Amino acid sequence: MNHRAPRLLIFDSGVGGLSIVADVQQLLPGCAITYASDNAAFPYGTKGEAELVERVDAVLRALIDKVEPDVVVVACNSASTLALPQIRAHFTVPIVGVVPAIKPAAAQSRSRVIGLLATPGTVARAYTRDLIARFASDCTVVSQGSSELVHRAEEHLRGKTVTTESLRELLSPLFAHPRFADMDTLVLACTHFPLLRPQLQALLGDRITLVDSGEAIARRVSYWLDELKLTPGATSTEHTAVFTRHSEDVEGLKPALKVLGIDTVEWRLM
């Protein structure tokens, strides 16, 4: 076995992927994590498909050269549902994607009415429709795309208050759906949204279970480390955050980054 700390690159357009960092750290505390935010191109969820694939490919090439990671996590549903085939073809390092947790949501739903809360791009993508057809064909899936909720999660992580009433307004299409009263499960299909889990749970009530991909992604990373014969230590190690654009907003993020053990902030302008 190799006893150095495994190196993980966890990548997103904004800070939603920090929810994945938290789940990975909980399962694998002894990994050295580089969290990369392509804030120069934020948000990914509103980008055209060709533009998004080209951007993700270019940024990942630069980051992989810099970090030399053992495993890469594309911690963005928009990028994963679109760009994974191309980027996996270009890199030899294992790449773990984040896709909407429709399969586990359908497996646990008793009412057979599940919600899907994502970015507009993820809701519209053929990949998402295929997941629904494969794993939730006997369910009513109530979908809502929201880019504004991504911004609210970013604000929350920077210490701004996100009120229940503001979330109720953003989720009004979900509440207005004729089957909302029967919904018992809601998929948080954007890595930003688990950052607002307490507020969303308080708004929706206990009858609706919130499901995301974080734990499954952490288990997948663990699988690849086993395959590579890399053993994480028992305690946390140093972590770094990399941003692709200088921004005053990053200063507001530093307390949240510090909670995750990320003390070093670097810039790789692109």
Residues labelled as active-site residues: 76, 190
The number of CA neighbours under 13 Å toward the Cβ of 45 is: 24
Phi (first) and psi of residue 173, to 5 degrees: -60, -35
User: Which contacts qualify for 161-166: CB closer than 8 Å, 24 or more apart?
Assistant: 162/196, 162/199, 164/199, 164/202, 164/203
DSSP 233: B
Q: 160: buried, middle or exposed (CB in 10 Å: 19+, 13-18, 0-12)?
A: exposed
Q: How many CB atoms lie within 10 A of CB 30?
A: 15
Terminal C-alpha separation, the chain: 37
Phi (first) and psi of residue 155, to 5 degrees: -65, -40
